[in-house]
Amino acid sequence: MKKLKRQTQEEIHLNLTPMMDLFVALIPFLIISASFNALGGIDLQAPAASAGHTAEDQKLSNDLWLMFEVKENVVSVQGYEKDFGRERPQIKGEFNSADLEKFKNFLASLEGGSWKMGPSLFHASPETRYEQAVSFLNVIRGAKNVTQIVMAAGVVE
């Protein structure tokens, strides 16, 4: 009697074949199309003509324009008055790529002052490796008060 009951019970089959077909096609597609390395970027400004200024403007302002000069694995920073007029001797530093934390702290220390930050100029010597330049640019871009980085590219004939 028990056997008969089992035989007559309703059987529900879930047809998994199309779903498996789908996944077999989908998985290689996703693997191939996946971007394994997330891409990022650093935005810079190309050099443009300056509007000019008066000597009086410079005297009164607390503008700070920074210039970053990379030579191989060393970056030197120099602060200037507006439009890179006169040097600000108190804003100066030199940092090695092996110790980017110091460079980061130097830039962070400028955030607290009453400086009105202008554009920053970035230049790297021809022999500098691109990777090295990007590692410094990465720190500069990360500084909160550095809003605009102008790349001092070579002169075109």
Partner 1 sequence: MKSLDRARAKPTTVIMLTPFLDVMTTLLIFLIVTFAPDEAKIEVSSAIQLPKAEHFLKGVPSVRIEVTESSLRINGKVIEGTSPTDPTSTTWNLLKTAIDEVRQKEDQRVLVVADKATPFRLVDLTVAHLSAAGFSDIYLLTEMKESAIALNGGPQ
Binding-site size for partner 1 (CB under 8 A) equals: 53
By the 8 A CB rule, do 148 and 45 touch? yes
Please state at what angle helix 100-109 crosses helix 130-142, rounded to 10 degrees: 30
> Residue 84, CB half-sphere, CA atoms under 13 Å: how many?
13
Residue type, 146: V
**Radius of gyration of the chain from its Cα atoms, rounded to whole angstroms:** 30
64, 117, 137, 146: residue in contact with partner 1 (rule CB under 8 A): 137
The angle formed by the CA atoms of residues 136, 138 and 140, to the nearest 5 degrees, is 70
Residue type, 32: I
10 binds partner 1 (CB under 8 A): yes
8 binds partner 1 (CB under 8 A): yes
Pick out residues in 109-128 that bind partner 1 (CB under 8 A).
Answer: 124-128
Binding segment for partner 1 among 27-35, 52-60, 88-96, 99-107 (CB under 8 A)?
A: 27-35
Q: Which is nearer to partner 1, 117 or 143 (CB)?
A: 143
45 binds partner 1 (CB under 8 A): yes
Q: Which residue has the tokens 């507006």?
A: 82
22 binds partner 1 (CB under 8 A): yes
Residues that bind partner 1 (CB under 8 A): 4-5, 8-15, 18-19, 22, 25-26, 29, 33, 35, 37-48, 70, 124-135, 137-138, 141-142, 151, 153-157
